[in-house]
Structure 1
Amino acid sequence: MKAIVHEHFQAELSKAQTLIAQQDFASAWIALQRAHILGQNDAIAHTIAHWQMLKLAWKQRDFREIMGQLVSTILAIPLTLLYGNSRYLRGGKAHVQESEKMSIPEDIQQILSQ
């Protein structure tokens, strides 16, 4: 992972932790989704993003999301190693309704293209 991407990945994780402490779970999910997009091409970072999402789902007692994130956390390393950069970047939540689908934010696209 490039240093600039890693820096932004860590910043999004830190932001999510702050938001969780403030009980702003909706914004914490957005920060974790941003971290997921940034880390999706790195096996360890991808796994960390899903692990953090799993912990947030557990905190919220969202059992449907827990099950999806559990599977995603387990499969993050092998899928990243198998498919790496050829995969479509996505937000990472396990159960997303059409109205919640996340496009890749412009600032993240710029970071990833550096």
Structure 2
Amino acid sequence: MKAIVYEHFQAELSKAKTLIAEQDFESAWIALQRAHILGQNDAIAHPIAHWNMLKLAWKQKDFQEISMQLMSTVLAIPLTLLSGKKRYLRGGKANVDDSEKMSIPEDIQQILNQ
């Protein structure tokens, strides 16, 4: 992972942790989804993003999200290593269908393009 991408990935995780502490779960999910997009092509960052999503789902007692994030956390490393950059980027939440392509926020796309 490029240093600039890693820096923004860490910033989104940090933002999510702050938002969770403030009980702003909706905004925390957005920060975690942004972190997921930034880290999705990295075999270490990808499962870290899902692990943090799993912890938030657990905190909210969202059992559908918990089951999805548990599976995603376990599969993130092998899927990233097998498919890597061939996969299209997505936000990582359970309510987004795998076949759905999502638009990447412009600021994140600019970071990824660097």
Name the TM-score class by shorter chain: over 0.9
Partner of 2:77: 77
Partner of 1:43: 43
The reply to whether residue 23 of structure 1 matches residue 23 of structure 2 is yes
Give CA deviations for 1:45-93 in whole Å, capped at 9, x if unaligned. Answer: 0000000000000000000000000000000000000000000000000
Partner of 1:96: 96
Unaligned runs of 5+ residues in structure 2 are none
Partner of 2:14: 14
CA distance in 1 between counterparts of 2:12 and 2:91 reads: 13
Unaligned runs of 5+ residues in structure 1 are none
TM-score, normalized by length of structure 2? 0.94
Give CA deviations for 1:2-40 in whole Å, capped at 9, x if unaligned. Answer: 000000000000000000000000000000000000000
Between stretches 10-19 and 88-97, larger displacement belongs to 88-97
Identity %: 84
Which runs of structure 1 show a deviation greater than 6 angstroms over 4 or more consecutive aligned residues?
none
CA distance in 2 between counterparts of 1:51 and 1:63 reads: 15
RMSD over equivalenced CA pairs, Å: 1.2
